[in-house]
Chain A
């Protein structure tokens, strides 16, 4: 008789009962989806921050009847407003839109040339607000010089972009939660199938005095291996796709990205390795709960 007997590593026959095809494939597909979800959430947050900053600082000033006399009756309203803007330190990049530019903006809406309609058009000035505090005092000062002058900031847009971003991120979070729940369900189904296939063996081992924890541990270990394999593969396969998307998005994103590894931002590189870990936790935990629950149906 052989001198050295090694205990069989797989005495429950789990390698056949929990095969290494379907479960890793499904978990891999879900890790892939989760990677896209995380990247989407991060990208929308990044783009939104970018837009919000632009929108929040943009100033649009409309001066009605620009050639009329200003409040001091020394010059035209337009000249008074431009002069006041030039004297305000926070207002930068002040630019008056030419009548041609206004015409370009409006004619698609009016369906005809503004000149043909003989409409009294306001003068439109754009600028960036870089000053401390809000634009309230500036607005008051301009309206005093030229009654009826409108000073718009992008505040409305800021709010809308914020709402859009929040919705996108909530969607991404919902996708991640649903993917995690489906993952747990898939693991539970696979574990139940394995238990059904090895029912006789597990009942015998139970009756020979194995602890529930020992049986659950063996099965959870097998599930852990399969889910980690699947999640690692799925996450790795998402990288080329994410890199391709990052290249498409590059023109809209901060310029620093193009120099990053694969064009993917650092926060994404920090988040992706968490996917196999979370998959491992979900797989192991679900298997433990499933097996322990099933064992409780035995005496």
Chain B
């Protein structure tokens, strides 16, 4: 499902090309089986977001072999990569909502990009907005929403098309305990329905309440798997 073999990552730095940029990830290897659930932990700056970017094809590794949803990512064409991305739901640490679209249209966006007919989109958007408790805010633009509300819209957008793989980067960072609890219920429910789930977080209380194997990285190295 997700397979890393000796994966290294270094960011291309436009400002100092060739200036021996530091390796952000070093020799990472792990495997997450289909339908699995993993916490991804580690101190700030350890490389959690960077590792997730490799999974959702937002960065290429400097070295190593990566398979996502059974597909070796080094060998996909651009259109195949797009099709692969459509099967991955991502909750970004910084939400990344489109500022010019209201909550409803932000959530509907991935399905529209996948050319799903409008009639089949509506019910799904309505349902997920209820789940994240924002039905009444469907016409609000992102800047009109609180941080926590934006985060819930971002979560709704990631899960609405029932992805095979769900990646959540600090999905509860801006939420109160109740909301965080609700979101974790949503993620575990999806996991029970067969979605592979990876959640990066610092929140140890959350991890204790929802026990699952953890990948821990420190300074770009995997120090714990399981």
Which residues of A pack against B, CB within 8 Å?
1-2, 5-8, 11, 13, 200-201, 204-214, 296, 299
Q: In the complex, what distance in Å separates the CA atom of A21 from the CA atom of B189?
A: 51
Given contacts A5-B104, A7-B112, is CB(A210)–CB(B59) below 8 Å? Answer: no
A-B contact pairs, 18 of them (CB 8 A): A1-B129, A1-B135, A5-B108, A5-B122, A7-B112, A8-B105, A11-B98, A11-B112, A13-B100, A201-B98, A201-B100, A206-B82, A208-B86, A208-B110, A210-B82, A211-B78, A214-B113, A299-B59
Nearest 6 interchain pairs by C-beta: A209-B86, A209-B85, A13-B100, A210-B113, A208-B110, A209-B82
Report if B202 contacts A (CB, 8 A): no
Within 8 A of A (CB), among B96-117: 96, 98-101, 104-105, 108-110, 112-114
Chain A residues with CB under 8 A of B204: none
B83 touches A209 (CB 8 A): yes
Residue of A nearest to B102 (CB): A8
Chain B residues with CB under 8 A of A210: 82, 113
A299 touches B82 (CB 8 A): no
CB of A8, distance to nearest CB on chain B (Å) = 6
B57 touches A7 (CB 8 A): no
The 8 A CB mask of B54-85 against A (1 = contact, 0 = none) is 00111110000000000000000011001111
Given contacts A11-B100, A204-B98, is CB(A211)–CB(B118) below 8 Å? Answer: no
B104 touches A209 (CB 8 A): no
CB of B141, distance to nearest CB on chain A (Å) = 12
A7 touches B108 (CB 8 A): yes
Total inter-chain residue pairs, C-beta < 8 Å: 72
Given contacts A7-B112, A299-B58, is CB(A1)–CB(B138) below 8 Å? Answer: yes
Main SS of the interface on chain A?
loop
CB of B110, distance to nearest CB on chain A (Å) = 5
B96 touches A205 (CB 8 A): no
Report if B126 contacts A (CB, 8 A): yes
A208 touches B105 (CB 8 A): no
Q: In the complex, what distance in Å separates the CA atom of A13 from the CA atom of B135?
A: 25
Report if B183 contacts A (CB, 8 A): no
Residue of A nearest to B54 (CB): A299
Chain A residues with CB under 8 A of B79: 211-213
Q: In the complex, what distance in Å separates the CA atom of A214 from the CA atom of B113?
A: 8
Chain B residues with CB under 8 A of A214: 113
Residue of A nearest to B115 (CB): A214
A208 touches B109 (CB 8 A): yes
B85 touches A5 (CB 8 A): no
Question: Which of A200, A205, A207 touches B58 (beta carbons < 8 Å)?
Answer: A207
A11 touches B105 (CB 8 A): yes
A207 touches B98 (CB 8 A): no
Residue of A nearest to B81 (CB): A299
Chain A residues with CB under 8 A of B78: 211-212, 296
Chain B residues with CB under 8 A of A13: 98, 100
Chain B residues with CB under 8 A of A2: 138
B113 touches A208 (CB 8 A): yes
Q: In the complex, what distance in Å separates the CA atom of A204 from the CA atom of B79?
A: 16
Report if B90 contacts A (CB, 8 A): yes
B56 touches A207 (CB 8 A): yes
Chain A residues with CB under 8 A of B122: 5
B112 touches A209 (CB 8 A): no
Chain B residues with CB under 8 A of A7: 105, 108, 112, 118
Chain B residues with CB under 8 A of A6: 118
